[in-house]
Amino acid sequence: MNKTKLIGLILGAFALGAFSYQQVLKVITAADVRGAANIAGLEFTQAEVDSLLPELDDYRKSYEDIRKLALPNSTPMALVFNPVPPGYQMPAGTMMGGYSSAGNAQLPGNMDDLAYYSVVQLSKLIIGKKITSEELTKYFIERLKKYDPKLKCVVTLTEKTALEQARQADEDLKSGVYKGMLHGIPYGLKDIVATNGHPTTWGSKIFKDQVFKYDATVVEKLGAAGAVLVAKLSVGELAMGDTWFGGQTKNPWDMKTGSSGSSAGSAAAVSAGLVPFAIGTETLGSIVSPATTCGVTGLRPTFGRVSRHGIMTLNWSMDKVGPIARSAEDCAVVLSYITGADNKDLSVINMPFTYDAGIKINKKLKIGYLKKDFDKAYPFKTQDSLTLKTLQMMGYELIPMDLPVYPDISFLIGVEAAAAFDDLTRTNKDDQMVRQTKDAWPNYFRQARMVPAVEYVQANRVRAQMIEGMEKVFKEVDVYLNPTWASSSLLTTNLTGHPCVVVPNGMKNNKPTSITFTGKLFEEATLLAVAQAYQEQTGFDQQKPKLD
C-alpha cells in the first residue's frame, strides 16, 4: 500500500472517530517534509523524502521524551554565549577616581524636589545624617502610593520589608557600619526579578501568584550594599512592551501614552521621582526604549557583566541586567555594586568596574559617530545634531564611522524565547496572555517553531563574525554615538553583547528625546564618564515631568 492511500485510510478512520486528533498528528507525511523544506529554502526529490520519513518519526519520539522532563524557565542551556572575541585584551583595572555630581548636598526647601535628587546626593544626605533611611523610604513609599494609580507602574509595594530594611540601615549607621553609597537608598525592581516571599509575576496573569523562596543575585548584592527595596515594578508581559495584566504603564510626560517597555515600570518610576533608581533588563531595547520615552538614563551593561540568576529567562544568549537612574553617574554607582560573578550564572565574567569621573575630557579618547545614520531624516535629528555640536564644543574630536553590515539574524530572539516558554505554546496557555496580535509573543512563539535548527546554528556563526567586526570598529574608537532608534546599532550590539547608555538630549512635542553612547566590552567606566560629562554640560537629565 502506498503512503498516500494509507493517509487516506487514517483520515477516514479519524472522521469515523476511530483515532484521536493527536494520534493522526503523529503521522509525518511527504507533504510535511516538503513544507518544512520549503520554509528552509530547500528542495528534495521523492527518493530523498522517502529516505527521510522513518528517521523523522524517531526525531519526534525524542522530542516527546524531552517534553516529559521538567524544564523550568530557570534551567540554562549547556552552551554559554561569550561576547569576547579571540585575542581580546581585557581592560586593566585602575583606582576609582570618584564621583563628580554630589556637591554639598542639603535637604531642599521644597521637599518635592527631594524626589529628583541623584543617588550620590541622597547618599551624602544619609552619611551626613541629614535624613534617615527610614524617613527617605517613607517619603518614596508615599510618592509610589500617590502616583501609581495614574502611572500603573507598581505590581507589588514592599512596604513592610522596606521599612524593616531601612531601620536596619539606620541601626547599622549608628553602630558605625557603612556599606557604601547605596546604604539606605530606596530602589525599585523590574518584576521579573525573584524576591524571597514576594510575588514575581513576569507581568502575566498566568504567573501573577508565582512566589519564589529565594532572592535573585542582583537583589542579594543590593541588599548587601544596604539598598532598600520599596517596590516590584511593572514589566510588559513576559518582557515585551508596556502592557501587563494590570493595564498599560503610562509615560509620566504624557499620561495618555505608554511608557514603552519592557522595563516599563522601572523607567516610569524613576522619571516620576518615585524611586531614585531601578533595575531593568534588556534583550532588545527593553532598557533603551523606556528610558528614552520617559526621559531618564538607562545603562545596558556588557553581556556577562551582571548575573541573571533568579531573573526570568527570555534569551539565554542576549538577556542583560542594568540600572535605570537619573544620570550616567548614578548608573555607575549602582553598577559598581551589582557587577561580578556568583557561580550561578555561568555567563558572568568577573571583571572589575572602576569608574573615574576625571576622564571627562581626555584628549586621547576617540569618539566616533555613525555619520550615515545621523545624516538621514528621522524624528530626533534636530536634537541629535545639537548633541554632536555640544560634544565638539566640549573639546571632543568626533570621528565619522560606519558599522559593518550583516544579514538580519534577529529571529534568534524568537527561537530562544519560544524555548524558554515552550510549555505555554504546547498547552495553549498562551491564549491567556493579554496581547494576541501578530506582533505579540504567542504568535512569535509559533513563528519560531518554523526556524530550522541548522539555521539557528548558522545565524550564531554569523554572530561570531559580527563580534569580530565590532572588535575592528573599536580598534578605531573608544566610544561611538548613534541615534537611539534610527540605527542598526541597537540590534547589532545586543547580539554582540556591547554596552550602551541612553541619555536624554532634548524635547520634541513636549516629550523627551535621547541619544545613545555605545562602548567597548567591559569598559562601561569610560562610556559612563563621557555620558556624564555631556549631562553636566547640558542638564537634560534634570528635566522633570509635571505629574499633577
Q: Based on the domain organization, do 116 and 60 belong to the same domain?
A: no
Whole-angstrom Cα distance, residue 178 to residue 169? Answer: 8
Q: Based on the domain organization, do 24 and 132 belong to the same domain?
A: no
Q: Based on the domain organization, do 207 and 304 belong to the same domain?
A: yes
Q: Based on the domain organization, do 386 and 267 belong to the same domain?
A: yes
Q: Give the domain-ending residue among 67, 82, 102.
A: 67
pLDDT of residue 298: 98
Whole-angstrom Cα distance, residue 295 to residue 543? Answer: 8
Whole-angstrom Cα distance, residue 184 to residue 168? Answer: 9
User: Mean of the pLDDT values across residues 214-221?
Assistant: 98
Q: Based on the domain organization, do 125 and 235 belong to the same domain?
A: yes
CATH of the domain at 313: 3.90.1300.10
Q: Give the domain-ending residue among 67, 88, 123.
A: 67
Give yes or no for a contact between 229 and 222, defined as CB atoms under 8 angstroms apart: yes
Phi/psi for 333 (5° steps) reads: -60, -50
- How many angstroms separate the Cα of 251 from the Cα of each of 151, 260, 296, 502, 510? 7, 8, 11, 17, 12
pLDDT of residue 335: 98
Whole-angstrom Cα distance, residue 254 to residue 530? Answer: 30
Residue 416 lies in a domain: no
How many folded domains does the chain comprise?
Answer: 2
Residue 63 lies in a domain: yes
pLDDT of residue 311: 98
pLDDT of residue 89: 86
Residue 259 lies in a domain: yes
pLDDT of residue 94: 56
Q: Based on the domain organization, do 62 and 116 belong to the same domain?
A: no
Question: DSSP state, 115?
Answer: G
Enclosing domain of residue 49: 3-67
pLDDT of 284 over the 60 cut: yes
Helix axes 217-224, 328-338, angle to 10 degrees: 100
User: To the nearest whole number, what is the mean pLDDT of the chain?
Assistant: 93
Whole-angstrom Cα distance, residue 465 to residue 471? Answer: 10
Q: CB count, 10 Å around CB of 50?
A: 13
Q: What is the tens place of the pLDDT at every residue in 467-507?
A: 999 999 999 999 999 999 999 999 999 999 999 999 999 99
pLDDT of residue 11: 40
Q: What is the tens place of the pLDDT at every residue in 131-169?
A: 999 999 999 999 999 999 999 999 999 999 999 999 999
pLDDT of residue 286: 98
Helix axes 264-271, 133-151, angle to 10 degrees: 110
pLDDT of residue 66: 94
- Please give the radius of gyration of the chain, using alpha carbons only, rounded to the nearest integer: 25
Whole-angstrom Cα distance, residue 229 to residue 234? Answer: 14
Phi/psi for 189 (5° steps) reads: -135, 125
Q: Based on the domain organization, do 141 and 44 belong to the same domain?
A: no
pLDDT of residue 19: 41
DSSP string, 392-438: HHTTPPEEEE--------THHHHHHHHHHTHHHHHHTGGGGSS--ST
Q: Give the domain-ending residue among 67, 88, 119.
A: 67
Instruction: State the DSSP H helix or E strand holding residue 485, giving kind and residue range, or none if neither.
Output: none
Phi/psi for 298 (5° steps) reads: -125, 130
Q: Based on the domain organization, do 229 and 117 belong to the same domain?
A: yes
Q: What is the tens place of the pLDDT at every residue in 85-120?
A: 998 888 876 555 677 756 678 999 999 999 999 999
Residue 296 lies in a domain: yes
The alpha-helical segments, DSSP class H, found in 274-327 are 288-294
Q: Based on the domain organization, do 470 and 384 belong to the same domain?
A: yes
Whole-angstrom Cα distance, residue 165 to residue 16? Answer: 66
Residue 81 lies in a domain: no
Q: CB count, 10 Å around CB of 65?
A: 9
pLDDT of residue 98: 73
Q: Based on the domain organization, do 179 and 32 belong to the same domain?
A: no
Kindly list the catalytic residues: 190, 262, 286
pLDDT of residue 93: 64
Residue 547 lies in a domain: no
Give yes or no for a contact between 444 and 492, defined as CB atoms under 8 angstroms apart: no
User: Mean of the pLDDT values across residues 192-206?
Assistant: 98
Give yes or no for a contact between 414 and 451, defined as CB atoms under 8 angstroms apart: yes
User: Mean of the pLDDT values across residues 79-86?
Assistant: 96
Cell 532572592, located at residue: 215
Residue 326 lies in a domain: yes
Whole-angstrom Cα distance, residue 221 to residue 218? Answer: 5
Whole-angstrom Cα distance, residue 528 to residue 534? Answer: 10
pLDDT of residue 407: 97
Q: Based on the domain organization, do 226 and 326 belong to the same domain?
A: yes
pLDDT of 461 over the 80 cut: yes
What is the pTM for the complete model shown? 0.93
Residue 77 lies in a domain: no
Q: What is the tens place of the pLDDT at every residue in 287-327?
A: 999 999 999 999 999 999 999 999 999 999 999 999 999 99
Q: Based on the domain organization, do 382 and 261 belong to the same domain?
A: yes
Which triple of cell numbers denotes residue 52? 527521510
Instruction: State the DSSP H helix or E strand holding residue 544, giving kind and residue range, or none if neither.
Output: none
User: Mean of the pLDDT values across residues 423-441?
Assistant: 96
Say if residue 262 is preceded by a cis peptide, omega within 30 of 0: yes
Q: What is the tens place of the pLDDT at every residue in 7-41?
A: 444 344 444 444 433 444 578 999 999 999 999 99
Indicate the SS3 state at residue 153.
Answer: coil
Give yes or no for a contact between 403 and 433, defined as CB atoms under 8 angstroms apart: no
> CA end-to-end span of the chain, whole Å?
77
Please choose, from the candidates 102, 141, 98, 136, the residue with its C-alpha nearest in 3D space to the C-alpha of residue 118: 102
Query: What percentage of the chain has pLDDT greater than the value 90?
Result: 89
Whole-angstrom Cα distance, residue 209 to residue 198? Answer: 9
281: left (phi over 0), alpha (psi -120 to 50) or beta: beta
Whole-angstrom Cα distance, residue 20 to residue 59? Answer: 21
pLDDT of residue 8: 45
